[in-house]
Amino acid sequence: MRIGVLCSGGDSPGMNAAIRGATLRGVDVHGFEMVGFVDGWRGFHEGETVELDRPAVRGLSGQGGVFIGTSRVPPFDGGPGEADLTDFRARFADYGLDAFMLIGGNGTQRVSSILHDSGIPVVGLPKTIDNDLDGTDYTFGFDTAVSIATEAIDRLRTTGDSHRRCMVLEVMGRDAGWIALHAGMAGGAQAILVPEFPESIDQVCDWVTSVRDRGRSSLVVVAEGFALAGNGSQVTRDGRDGFGRLRLGGVAESLAPVIEERTGIETRATVLGHVQRGGAPTAFDRVLATRTGIAGADAALHEDWGTMAALRGDRIEMIPFADAVGRLKTVPDDRYAEVRLNFG
C-alpha cells in the first residue's frame, strides 16, 4: 500500500512526532510505502514529495514544526466541484497512491470528509493548538500551547506584582477559549476572558479592583476572539467596530488602556503570538501525536477509511469524520462557571 501524507493549515507542535509514529508503524511494521507532500497541497499540486522511511524521521519526536512543511494552499482551485474531484483523482492515481493520511484541523478534516465521500481512501490525524475539534478529548499541540501560555503568566505575574500593575495577556483562540481557560486556570489568573462568554467592561474592572483591594496585582488572560458584552463603542476609545468587538492592535491592547482608565491601576498588555505554536512539543503532545500516527497507520492497514484518530480517555479510537467536523468544540458552561466563581 502506498500512502500520501500531507499537512494542511497552521503548524502545531507534535506534527513531526505524528509523522514519525505513522512512518515507523506503517513502513517498518506494516510494510507500506509512504510519501510526504511538501508544504501541504502545494506539494501535491506541484509534485514536490519526500520519501518517508525510518532514516527520514530519525530524531523527530521532540522537534517543533513539521519537516515536510505545511501551508494554507487549498486542495481544489474553486469549490470541490465534480470537475475538481475528477482532476484530483487523476492526480492521486498519477502518484500511485492507495490512500491519504491528512494531518490538520477542522478545515482539513472537512476536506478529508469530502475526499472520502468521493471515493478516495482517507484517514485523518487531528491537530490544532486551539483544541476546538469535536469528538476528541484533546488534539496534539494544545498542551504545548497551554504550557507556553502558562509560563508567560508565571513570568508576567512576578513583574506585575513588583510594580502593582494589572497585566493582560492575549493568547490564541479566535472562536474557542480553551488555551485561555487552561492556561488561566494553571496560572491562577484573576480573570479569564473567552469568546464563548462575553463579559461587560464593568465586570472585568470589578474583578481587577477587587484583587487590588485584597492587596494583590491581577492577571487577566484574554483569548484573541473575546468581545466585550454590550455596546463596545462605549468602552473602546478607538478601533471599535461598532458591535463591541475590540479591533485595533488586538483585544489585549484595546482592553488594557480601558482597564487602566476606569480602575486607575497601571495596566500593561502582552500579546503572546506565534511563540505559542512553535518549538519543542511537551511530552504529553509527543506521546499523543505518536499514538495518533500509529493509530492512523493501523487504520490504513485495516482499511478503516473515513475515520479520524481521536483521544478518548486514555485510548486512541478511530471515529467517523462526521463526529469530528460537525461542530466546533467550544468551552462549555460548566467549565467556565468553574473558574468564574472565584474571579476577583
In whole angstroms, the minimum distance from the beta carbon of 124 to its own copies comes to 19
Which CB, 113 or 236, lies closer to its own copies? 236
Which CB, 35 or 68, lies closer to its own copies? 68
Which CB, 1 or 185, lies closer to its own copies? 185
Active site residue 98: no
What's the CA gap between 53 and 14, in Å, rounded? 18
Which CB, 85 or 339, lies closer to its own copies? 339
In degrees rounded to 5, what are phi and psi of residue 103?
-110, 115
Spatial CA neighbour of 33 closest among 101, 90, 85:
101
Q: Residue from 56, 186, 227, 229 that binds its own copies (CB under 8 A)?
A: 186
Which CB, 116 or 329, lies closer to its own copies? 329
What's the CA gap between 147 and 312, in Å, rounded? 21
Of 56-64, 93-101, 116-124, 319-327: span binding its own copies (CB under 8 A): 56-64
What's the CA gap between 207 and 228, in Å, rounded? 14
Q: Residue from 8, 18, 34, 70 that binds its own copies (CB under 8 A)?
A: 70
Q: Residue from 103, 166, 183, 235 that binds its own copies (CB under 8 A)?
A: 183
Q: Name every residue whose Cβ is closer than 8 Å to that of residue 84 and which is 6 or more positions away in sequence.
A: 76, 77, 78
Using the rule CB under 8 A, is 25 a contact of its own copies? Answer: yes
Write out the binding residues for its own copies, residues 245-304 only, by CB under 8 A: 249, 268-275, 277-280, 282-284, 286-287, 290-291, 294
Mark residues 214-243: x for contact with its own copies by CB under 8 A, - for none. Answer: --x---------------------------
Check if the beta carbon of residue 312 is closer than 8 Å to that of residue 137: yes
Q: Residue from 39, 130, 132, 196 that binds its own copies (CB under 8 A)?
A: 39
Q: Residue from 4, 36, 64, 177 that binds its own copies (CB under 8 A)?
A: 64
Give the C-alpha distances (Å, rounded to integers) separating 236 from 120, 183, 246, 261, 269.
Answer: 50, 26, 7, 11, 15
In whole angstroms, the minimum distance from the beta carbon of 307 to its own copies comes to 18
Binding residues for Mg(2+) are: 106
Total residues contacting its own copies by CB under 8 A comes to 78
Binding residues for substrate are: 128-130, 165, 172-174, 224, 268, 274-277
In whole angstroms, the minimum distance from the beta carbon of 114 to its own copies comes to 24
Using the rule CB under 8 A, is 31 a contact of its own copies? Answer: no
Q: Which of 11, 39, 130, 285 is catalytic?
A: 130
Mark residues 122-141: x for contact with its own copies by CB under 8 A, - for none. Answer: ---------------xx---
Active site residues: 130
